[in-house]
Amino acid sequence: MAGNARFLAVIFLGGIMALCLYGCAGEQKKAELEVADSEFSIRKEAEYMYVVDAKGVIRNLGPADVKRVEVTGYCRSCREEIIDSQWYISDYEKMEHQKDVISYLSAGSKSDFDFTEVAFYSANRSKKAPEKLPEDLEISIESYEVVQ
């Protein structure tokens, strides 16, 4: 009899805990961020060294405010090895100047971003500046936190 009472007490308390956890979880706010505008440009960094910089606008379309929005850029068509007169990328983790962090973005608002060194171009041998931007450049929203 005492075993049945303990079993029922465990089931009852487990049910109450499940209801409490379910009630506390509630409706999680969601964010919906988009890159509303972006622009890439070539900048001469040294005598025969050029880089691609990026700037643009992030828009928060969701119902929740967000913070610490980290945005960066990628060149999907660039090589990882340095070859004269060809666009290449660094295969290391992005450095602070290669990304931008938007500290707070309220629902329905937008914010500018800018960062440098999405891709690199070395013309040490050819001495020719790049004629155009590399292909497959993209802006990526890497991470953010939803404000509760």
Q: Name the amino acid, one letter, at 17.
A: M
**What would the pLDDT profile of 45-72 be if each residue is shown by its tens digit?**
999 999 999 999 999 999 999 999 999 9
**Which band of pLDDT confidence, cut at 50, 70 and 90, is reported for residue 4?**
low
List the CATH code of the domain at 33-146: 2.60.40
Per the confidence metrics, is the pTM higher than 0.85? no
Residue 18: strand pairing partners: none
pLDDT reading at 148 higher than 80: yes
Domain boundaries, the chain: 33-146
**What would the pLDDT profile of 80-136 be if each residue is shown by its tens digit?**
999 999 999 987 789 999 999 999 999 999 999 999 999 999 998 889 999 999 999
pLDDT reading at 8 higher than 70: no
Q: Convert 80-113 to b/e letters by CB count within 10 Å (16 or more is b).
A: eeeeebbbbbeeeebeeebbbbbeebeeeebbeb
First to last CA, the chain: 47
The CA distance from 144 to 105, in Å, is 10
